[in-house]
Copies of this chain bind each other. A is one copy, B any other.
Amino acid sequence: MTIVKDLRDGDEFVGFYLIKESEVKQTNTTPPKDFMNVVLSDASGHVAGKLWDASASDKENLVPLTLVKVQGVAQLYREKLQVKIVRIRRTTEADGVQLTDFVRSAPVQPEVLLAGIHKAKDSIADREIRDVVDYCLNKVGDKLIHAPAAKSHHHAYYAGLVYHISRMLELGEFICKQRPFLNADLLKAGIILHDIAKPVEMVSELGIVSDYSNSGKLIGHISQASLWVAEAAMRLGMDPDSERIMALQHLVLSHHNLGEWGSPVQPQLAEALALHHIDSIDAKLQMIEDAFDTTGSHEAWTPQIRGLENKAFYRLTF
């Protein structure tokens, strides 16, 4: 059985895959025939496939998010690998495979990650800051646990967002120990809140983002999170103009660092600058780690990574 990232030109293979997308098309021949474009995926990546002479039941059964068993041949087409599907069928219980095994996801259970985030929240000593964070975690609710952190930029998979927050909390804790002048409560809160509105900014299923929501486009997750902080303050009877609330707003608003990256103000609190850099280093190292994971081990270089100045990365051999 071959996983997607190990397919090479000329390989004949059999394996289980998840249908990520599919569509029925007609050939240009007379008379025209129906064929299907099917994107096959597993946790290691995805690849485009062609099913010629699709039957009526193929067209009915091979819909997105279906698990299938496939026999096929991998071929290079315009420098991209494509699969010519020879045989394909839906999986049955007897195959013993399950959907979530075929979806890219964080390497830690989402429930464990979320519990860790709540624990970090509970460790915030300042009651007002803790209550605001708690309010916002409740506000986003179940949408948080499985959301990806981005459409494609970084942590773009199932539970990617809680994984990102968790690793940032670890790094934030270390840096607060190195630099006691930083307010650890505020930094923790900023880490938990900075992307808290992403699950409503994007429309996603199983970690796959299909689009941005209307409010995601017109307001954006940064301003949305700041509105939630304001809502928390009002609902919890706090002064919305207090320095604590202002500081939380500032961390959320400035965490993209520059106006051209979407932040209406630039970091002017030490914790805001720390937040931006912790966010950045975690996102970028994850991009490389994920690129190595989804690049065939026979490749010396990853594909170009858009979030990293469009650079490819080299896999050291020593």
Which A residues are closer than 8 A to B by beta carbons? 23, 25-30, 33, 35, 50, 52-53, 75-77, 84, 126, 167, 170-171, 174-175, 178-179, 181-183, 186, 214-215, 217-220, 222-223, 226-227, 230-231, 234, 240-241, 243-244, 246-247, 249-250, 253, 258-270, 273-274, 277-278, 280-281, 284-285, 288-289, 292, 300, 308-309, 311-314, 316-318
Contact = CB atoms under 8 A, between A and B. Distances in A.
A270 B250 contact: no
Given A175-B285, A222-B264, A277-B281, A313 B269 contact: yes
Contacts of A226: 223, 226-227
Identical chains bound together, number: 6
Contacts of A217: 265, 268, 312, 314
Contact of A265 (B23, B30, B220, B230): B220
A289 to B, nearest CB: 6
21 contacts: A25-B75, A28-B50, A28-B52, A30-B33, A175-B281, A182-B285, A183-B316, A214-B246, A214-B314, A227-B240, A230-B231, A243-B317, A259-B259, A259-B260, A259-B263, A266-B311, A267-B308, A267-B311, A268-B312, A268-B314, A274-B285
A264 B266 contact: no
A30 to B, nearest CB: 6
A8 to B, nearest CB: 15
A179 B170 CA distance: 12
Nearest to A230: B227
A218 B260 contact: no
A307 to B, nearest CB: 11
Contact of A181 (B170, B220, B289): B289
Contacts of A220: 253, 264-265
A280 B284 CA distance: 14
A262 B264 CA distance: 5
Contacts of A53: 30
B27 A28 contact: yes
Given A219-B250, A222-B264, A250-B219, A270 B285 contact: yes
